[in-house]
Structure 1
Amino acid sequence: MTALGLTLDDSATMLRRNLRRALRYPGLTVIVAVMPIVFLLLFVYVFGGTLGAGLGAPAGGRAEYLSYVVPGILVLAITGGAQGTAIGIAMDMTEGIISRFRTLSIARAAVLTGHVVGAVIQTVVGLALVVAVALLLGYRPDAGPLGWLGAVAVLALTSFALSWLSVAMGMYTKSVEAASNLPMPLMLLPFFGSGFVPVESMPSGLRWFAEHQPFTPIIETVRGLLNGTAIGSSGLAAVSWCAGIALVGYLWARANYERRPARAGG
């Protein structure tokens, strides 16, 4: 078998390990969905009437605001998944399992790849739960099959990029507690973008930040694909941001894996 074939085989083994752990401890998958669902209910039923009217909808326009806010909620769910990924890799580091893997004939890339792909699958399951609740609340996107496929692809790409970054964060930190805190800024960024209100309604300084941070083009792309509207240049910007984040996360994670010893005993 070629080196690439061995790496893929080892990656599949690591993926199965992480999926089994996800089934054994489903709490992280639930967390990916529960908090976004809480925010969805809060923003739609508490603030939705006023915010929907602010979007140009009639007074009490909760349905219009639901259509607007769902893409932001989905991206928020992905950032929550990133926190769970950082915790998972930090647990492996502190429990010494990474040291065990290093003594085995396993491709170095396979251990990290298994965490990343497993995290993406876990996050997609959480996103499906969020979408199901949104549909129960009356969310009716205008997307056709290609629009849905495009939106799923962008969300999966975003999860892939943030998973690499969160794996790097989890390996960089010295404890599980620190790993749970380091991704927190990622969870705040959707609130300072176009996830919950249009950037045009923000003060000039905050508006500039919202327009130039990574999650705004991602949210706008998903929103356009689901609502059947033009996405303009946001699609290219979203893919570029995801590619850049994934590259930084991969290089950082690989450097941490190769240079830092695994920490046993927490």
Structure 2
Amino acid sequence: MDLKIKAAVMLVISFGILMTGCTFEKPAAAWTVQNTNSSEETEIYTKGAAVDELFTEDSKVQDIIKDPAFGGFGRLIFPADRPIDDELTLENLDDILVWYSHVNPERSVSIVNEMKKRIQDGEQIFYDIYTEEEKKEDPAKENTGLFFFRGTPGEKVAIVNAGGGFAYVAAMHDSFPHMQELAKKGYNAFALIYRPEAQTACEDLARAIAFIHEHAEELQVDIKRYSLWGGSAGARMAA
């Protein structure tokens, strides 16, 4: 491999791996609600929804998956390739995020609340990248798609790829937080849910990029120059 190309690939991989450990400042606007397990107050990062509609750290993952707001794609918010116990809560989400540490329950809560709030505000936050015919031909494509947090209409695009060792997609910890922060800064941010094998993951990323190009007007995004982000396996995809 040409040394310049090799150096560039390693730079992208290193950047993506470093992103896995990044932390972000909390958004300025936040709900403050009472934590039912203590006397402390807990900040919920998303805003605009009634307090009794918010998910909390005690919310069961299966209840979130089945929430009518997430009809058709709720299972893809969490690792679709790992078993999820009926009693698993957002507080203990790290139980299924193998190889990851420092999973922040407050961040997980903020993400699902923002997803629901955006839907309540009339936004479409999930897009299929394959047709129904393609999914029938290859059922594994059922567990793919793009989550979208709109930033400023007409602004540039960022596509984030989570890691998971090409065994599962750890989006809740390794791409949704980045998507959330990028959108807050005005970028139109996407998080890809892909088939977790190296070859199929790259095929899904290529398809996702093509999908955004083909639907740029509908999505109201500038796709002329876009950025690819990733952590761990997602960094290899970006490279």
Q: Shorter-chain-normalised TM-score: which range? A: under 0.3
Considering fraction of residues, name the structure with more strand.
2
Considering fraction of residues, name the structure with more helix.
1
Higher RCO (CA 8 Å, separation ≥ 6 residues): 1
TM-score (norm 2): 0.27
